[in-house]
Amino acid sequence: MQEQINRQILLVKRPIGMPDESCFKVVTSSMPQTAFGQVMVRTQFISVDPYMRGRMNDRKSYVPPFQLNEVLNGGVVGDVLESKSGNFAKGDIVVGNLGWQDYSIAGENAVRKVDPDIAPVSTALGVMGMPGLTAYFGLLDVGHPQPNETVVVSGAAGAVGTIVGQIAKIHDCCVVGIAGSDKKTKYLIDELGFDAAINYRTSPDLKKALEEACPNGVDIYFDNVGGDISDAVLSLINNNARIPLCGQISLYNEKHIPVGPRIQPQLLTHSALMRGFLVRNYTDRFGEGTRQLGGWLKESKLKYAENVVDGLENAPKAFIGLFAGENLGKQLVKVR
């Protein structure tokens, strides 16, 4: 058997502002060993996610920061190459939070099986995984959409936004997406059935474009991006509006504390609710979420898009691309 090597991607420098490739390094190490109660997972797909930017800072947050000169980690789908756990057999497809590397060792409780008959296994990192569940719980549990309400979603063409808009359509809402290219807005309307979509990069007056797209005001604003885009949406909220805060990607690379118009007066006079949420707050309801998402997928009520970059060594580039809005749908790296 050929000598195997394990390529790994390390964080070697904490980014200040926008990350670049000098923050990352590809190294090789020897094959890891599988101990009792563990499995060796061969990486097939890596998930690159905006929230990882926060972990690159040396700052306490809801997840601990990445350590310098250690292997990055995030969502990974792979196949079990070796199992020393009674729960897994060689060849099982699993998903978990694992390293950005070819081979990972995982405790038997750190991964769960993926059923390849429901959908392609990569969806365990997208519509059937963390982004899908984020959309599901954020929209339904925080947003409580009602028929005929107007739902605006920013970052609408991303992994979460595409699912949010479709779930809102399933709930008979009027759905308006905000995204960063005409290709994306066309996709949202033509493929996903959004009622309207606005390209914020080319719109000369975002607030005016939103007013036209939302003649009845905004009842739910699912916020993935923050910043100026959110300011424009918030200026149009109706009484009793709900604002699930899912991400603030426009601010993640700010070097200073971002400043903007104070929003409390607007929330106050409209009896509006704004709520930050993390998908992991809903761990005990993941079963419900994946069953429902899988059901909609099977009924073709839910479509998904993936933006796949080839090669482990290109994971840093794919990550950096998130902040330029390069991805339509879920950004993945195909490792094998």
Given the rule CB under 8 A, which residues bind its own copies?
Answer: 54, 61-62, 223, 226-227, 230, 239, 245-248, 251, 257-265, 267-278, 281
CA pair distance 78, 96, nearest whole angstrom: 9
CA pair distance 277, 261, nearest whole angstrom: 22
Closest CB to its own copies among residues 2, 264 = 264
We find the least distance from the C-beta atom of residue 227 to its own copies, in angstroms, to be 8
We find the least distance from the C-beta atom of residue 248 to its own copies, in angstroms, to be 5
CA pair distance 64, 60, nearest whole angstrom: 6
Residue 45's H or E segment, with its range, is strand 38-47
Closest CB to its own copies among residues 79, 149 = 149
- Which residues fall within 8 angstroms of residue 53, CB to CB, at 6 or more apart? 15, 19, 252, 253, 323
We find the least distance from the C-beta atom of residue 313 to its own copies, in angstroms, to be 31
How many CA atoms are closer than 13 Å to the CA of 253, on its beta-carbon side? 14
We find the least distance from the C-beta atom of residue 268 to its own copies, in angstroms, to be 4
Closest CB to its own copies among residues 270, 334 = 270
We find the least distance from the C-beta atom of residue 66 to its own copies, in angstroms, to be 16
Closest CB to its own copies among residues 93, 267 = 267
Residue 124's CB is within 10 A of a number of other CB atoms, namely 29
Residue pair 316/25 in contact by the 8 Å Cβ criterion: no
CA pair distance 277, 284, nearest whole angstrom: 15
Closest CB to its own copies among residues 33, 61 = 61
We find the least distance from the C-beta atom of residue 63 to its own copies, in angstroms, to be 9
The identity of residue 8, as a single letter, is: Q
In total, the chain counts a number of residues equal to: 336
Closest CB to its own copies among residues 35, 257 = 257
